[in-house]
Each structure stands twice: as C-alpha cells, then as structure tokens.
Amino acid sequence: MADYELIAPCHFGMEAVLKREIQKLGYDILKVEDGKVTFAGDEAAIVRANIFLRTTERILIKIGSFKATTFDELFEGTKALPWEQFIPEDGKFWVAKATSIKSKLFSPSDIQSIMKKAMVDRLKKKYNVNWFPEDGASFPLRVTIMKDVVTVGLDTSGDSLHKRGYRQATVKAPITETLAAALIMLTPWKWDRILVDPFCGSGTFPIEAAMIGANIAPGMNRSFSAEDWMHLIPKKAWYDAANEAEDQIRRDIEMDIQGYDIDSGAIKAAMENARLAEVDHLIHFQQRPVSQLSHRKKYGFVITNPPYGKRLEEEEDMPALYREIGEAFSHLDSWSFYLITAFDQAERYLGRKADKNRKIYNGMMKTYFYQYMGPKPPRRNKNEHSDQ
C-alpha cells in the first residue's frame, strides 16, 4: 500500500473542523494552512476521505512542489515530477484549474498550457510514444502557485464534493453543502437537540444536519474520478468503504429538525431534495415567515442563512428583515442562534451583540457567522425521558 500526501481544500475559516474530521477517520495531519489541510494516507484513505469527509471540497494527491518564477522553471519543474507513476499511457490528463497568489507567474491559461506540454514531454519518453490517445480514465490536475511555490495535485474527486447528489432542486443563493455541514459542526448541536432553519431555501442546513445525525456518509450516492484508476486503487477499496458507510447509518434514529421558508417553491424544492437524500422522514418542512418562528420546547438551535441584500434593490429591506429576525429570536430565550450573513450591520438590527463572530469566506464573499449561545439544558437522569 503506497503512502500519499493528500490535500483537502476547504472554505477559509473551516480548517479546524476539517482537521477534526480527518483525525476522526484515523489519519495523521501533516500541515494546516489557510483553506486546506494536508494529511498522510494510503489508497484506502483516498477512498474513505472522498466518501466520509463532509467539509472538504475535494481530495488531491500531491504529486510534488517546486519553486518557479519563470515559465522555463515551470516547464522543467513540471517535467521533473514522476507522472508515469500516476498516469497510464491511455490516460486523459489536463490542468483543470491553476490558481496564482502573490507570484510572478499569474496567467492561468499559460500555466495550464506549459504544464501540459511538460507532462507530455516526460510521458513521451517514458512510454516511448509520439502521441497519446487520451481515451482512457481522466486525470484532472489542480495547481496552486503561492509566493512562487508551485504545488501540483491530482484530483481524485472529479466534481466538487459539495455535490452530494441530492440537491437537484435549487433556489436563489443556496449555501454549499460542505459549508453548511462545517457550520453545523462548529456549533454544539447534536442529533438529540431541536434544530430549526427559518430561511431553509432548498433545505441544505436541515438535510446536512439530518445526514450528520443519522451518520449518512455524504459521498455515498455519487461517483469519483479515482474510481477508474484501477492501477492505483483496487475496486475492493471502493466496495469496502461503501459497505463501511452502509453499516454506520443509524436507521432507527428520530430527530426534531424543521425547515421554514416564506416561499412555497423553496419548500417544494427542499422536500424533494430531502427525499433524494433519504432523510425526508427526519425533517418537517413548512411554508412560514420568520415572524412566526416559535417552538413549544426549550434549548433548541436555530442555524440559518438569511438573505444578505447583496443586490442594490434589496439592501434597503435588510434593516427591517433583521429587526424581524431579532424579534423572533427574543421569544425563544432558552435557544441558541447561529446565522451566516454578508450583512455587516446584522448585530445592530438583531438588537444583540453576538457571543462570537467568526469571519468566513464563502467563495470570494466575506461573511460573518454570528453565534448566540443559549443556556445548556439541565442534565437528564438516565431513566428520565424528557421532551427537551
């Protein structure tokens, strides 16, 4: 079994959550940087990371890294990497994405073109051929140049891991599945506590919470690039991980998760997505405005992604909306509230300063994760059945 350096990218600000996930899977962390966690693992680790990790965007095999300040250095550095250990003679290979930050080389298209030429040059000599059919398995590459250091990763995932396969119906400005899962995992919420999302949209927060509570692996119902890399990863590794994921599902679990939205179309989309995720029996969706947020039980959680007002015509509506949210929260005085928003005046109009405020980059957009901690519920006696 080969040992690899594996790179797991994530949203900026979510590195600690991803690190805990990787450690829980049983792998050693090598490095934590802004927006990514690097860890050590074998073929089984590649498979299990793709299927089980909730908060990473993809899993990359690190092919190597080198310094390059000129295109000649980029060509020679790329050519020196052991491509034949990964890409077979019929493999289809290309640089799917190149990112440059604070580096002399900054043109993505030139970086992609030069690196492809360098790979072809090396593989021609190794396979003793003049051209490649590229009609076999796909080997997409992702390259980051940070302060002139080039890091080359082979993408084992293909489509981003936020594409779980359940979100067929979408609404305006949805939050990604990976970010929703990471935000839930930043809170103390557990499966036996109430969770309500009063701006549920297409249902991402409630669905991800239900999957976490029922221990449903996020990658169970999708495919990955590396499934076709039989020379690197045996099929048995995929079957074993799928069986492991199936065995871990908590099928008899009951949860109190609710999703509200004022838009009937959003509720319809959320219900369909929950059905596709096979958690529709764990979530109650209802068309309801935030002003009607209420619950008879204590010590619940609100985790939500309210409108930001990023469009000019919506900005003037934000103060009134956030006052309404604050008023609704005030009636649930034993609850905890967590909301992510790009509206930087949120605390002012909610009427309360957050206990914690975490900056998180949602793509290129700076957002704030406002955290209002409610009281902890009283300890239950072992024999006591409580509805709290």
> What are the tens digits of pLDDT across the range 60-119?
999 999 999 999 999 999 999 999 999 999 999 999 999 999 999 999 999 999 999 999
pLDDT at residue 385, as a whole number: 47
Q: Taking CA 381 as the corner, what is the angle to CA 377 and CA 387, rounded to the nearest 5 degrees?
A: 55
pLDDT at residue 2, as a whole number: 73
Q: Pairing state of beta strands 138-146 and 149-155?
A: antiparallel
Any idea which residue has 């919470």 for tokens? Answer: 209
Give the least confident one: 161-175, 249-263, 305-319.
305-319
pLDDT at residue 310, as a whole number: 64
Q: 36 burial class (0-12, 13-18, 19+ CB within 10 angstroms)?
A: buried
pLDDT at residue 387, as a whole number: 44
Any idea which residue has 């039989």 for tokens? Answer: 230
- Examine the pLDDT at 1 and tell me if it is beyond 80: no
Q: What is the mean pLDDT of residues 329-338?
A: 95
CATH for 177-247+255-372?
3.40.50.150
- Examine the pLDDT at 173 and tell me if it is beyond 80: no
pLDDT at residue 171, as a whole number: 75
- What whole-number distance in Å separates Cα of residue 54 and Cα of residue 140? 22
- Examine the pLDDT at 313 and tell me if it is beyond 70: no
What residues have CB less than 8 Å from 81, skipping those under 6 apart? Answer: 63, 64, 122, 152
- Examine the pLDDT at 28 and tell me if it is beyond 60: yes
- Examine the pLDDT at 388 and tell me if it is beyond 80: no
Handedness of CA 223, 85, 23, 234 (dihedral sign): positive
pLDDT at residue 364, as a whole number: 80
pLDDT at residue 114, as a whole number: 98
Phi, then psi, of 339 in degrees rounded to 5: -140, 140
Enumerate the domain spans of the chain: 4-155, 177-247+255-372
Tokens linked to 291 = 């002003």
pLDDT at residue 382, as a whole number: 55
CATH for 4-155?
3.30.2130.30
Question: Residue 214 is which amino acid?
Answer: A
* 380 vs 190 pLDDT, higher one: 190
Q: Determine what percent of the chain is predicted with pLDDT higher than 90.
A: 88
CB count in 10 Å sphere of residue 113: 14
- What whole-number distance in Å separates Cα of residue 15 and Cα of residue 8? 9
- Examine the pLDDT at 172 and tell me if it is beyond 90: no
- Examine the pLDDT at 176 and tell me if it is beyond 60: yes
Q: Are 302 and 197 in contact (CB under 8 A)?
A: yes
pLDDT confidence tier of residue 379, bands split at 50, 70 and 90: confident
pLDDT at residue 311, as a whole number: 58
Mean residue pLDDT of the chain comes to 94
Q: What is the mean pLDDT of residues 208-229?
A: 97
- What whole-number distance in Å separates Cα of residue 336 and Cα of residue 298? 10
- Examine the pLDDT at 40 and tell me if it is beyond 80: yes
Same CATH topology for 4-155 and 177-247+255-372: the answer is: no
Q: What is the mean pLDDT of residues 21-28?
A: 98
